Amino acid sequence: MPFDPFAPKDYVRAMALRPILVLPEPLLRKVSDPVPEVDAAVRALVDDMFETMYEAPGIGLAAIQIGVPKRIVTIDLARKEEPPARQVFINPEIVWASEDLSSYEEGCLSIPSLYEEVERPARIRVRYRDVDGKPQEIEADGLLATCLQHEIDHLEGKLFVDRLSRLKRERALKRWQKARRENDA
C-alpha cells in the first residue's frame, strides 16, 4: 500500500473523554477486578481517567465510573491555581485505619449535585501500585484520606450514600431523584 500520511496511526493514541456513569447504572454496583499488570493499556486508561476527571471536574475517579471494572483510582487534589498533582492508585488496599473518625461533605460524579456529610476513619494506610507498577505505601489524612476511601468504596461497588443512615440515604436519594426529574422535564 502507498504511504498515506492521513491513515490512522496506532502508535499515537489521543486521550479520550469518556462518559461518566450515573445512578441507577447497575455497573456502579459491580466489584472491580485487580489489575494483573501495569502495562501500556492500563496507562492509556489512566490518561483517559484524568482527562475525564479534570473535565467533570472532580478530584477523584474510579475506573468503574467510566464503565471499566478494574481496580484503578486517579486523584488530583491540587487547587485551580496550582500545577496538576496526579496521583494514581492501582489495586489499592487499606492496610490500617485510625479509630478516630472525621466528617466531610462528600459529593460523587455518579450522583451529581448530591452532597452529604460522611464519617470515615480520619487516617489510613494504603498499599497500592503506582503508574509504573511499583509497590507503594502511603499514610493519608485530611481530604486525601476521605477521597481514597470514597474511591476504594467504588472498587467494591459502594457509593458514599451507602455510608449514611438508612433514613438519611432514603431522604437524600428521593430529593436527588426528584431534582433529576425536574431537570429533565
Q: Kindly list the residues in this chain that would bind ligand GNR in the complex (CB under 6 A).
A: 58-62, 65, 104, 106-110, 146-147, 150-151, 154
**Where would I find the beta strands (DSSP E) of the chain?**
60-62, 72-75, 87-97, 101-106, 116-121, 124-129, 135-140
Binding residues for Ni ion restricted to 90-119, rule: CB under 5 A: 108
Cα–Cα separations (whole angstroms), residue 53 to 3, 43, 46:
37, 15, 10
d(CA 158, CA 169): 13
Active site residue 25: no
Contacted entry of ligand GNR, Ni ion, none for residue 59, CB cut-off 5 to 8 Å set by kind:
ligand GNR
Residue 147 binds: one of Ni ion, ligand GNR, none (C-beta under 5 to 8 A by kind): ligand GNR
State the nearest-atom distance from the C-beta of 48 to ligand GNR, in Å: 15
CA distance 169 to 166: 5
Residue 118 has phi, psi (to 5 degrees) of -125, 135
Nearer to ligand GNR, 10 or 105 (CB): 105
Shortest separation between residue 177's beta carbon and Ni ion, angstroms? 18
Closer of 89 and 135 to ligand GNR (Cβ): 89
Which residues form the catalytic set? 151
Give the binding site for Ni ion (CB under 5 A).
108
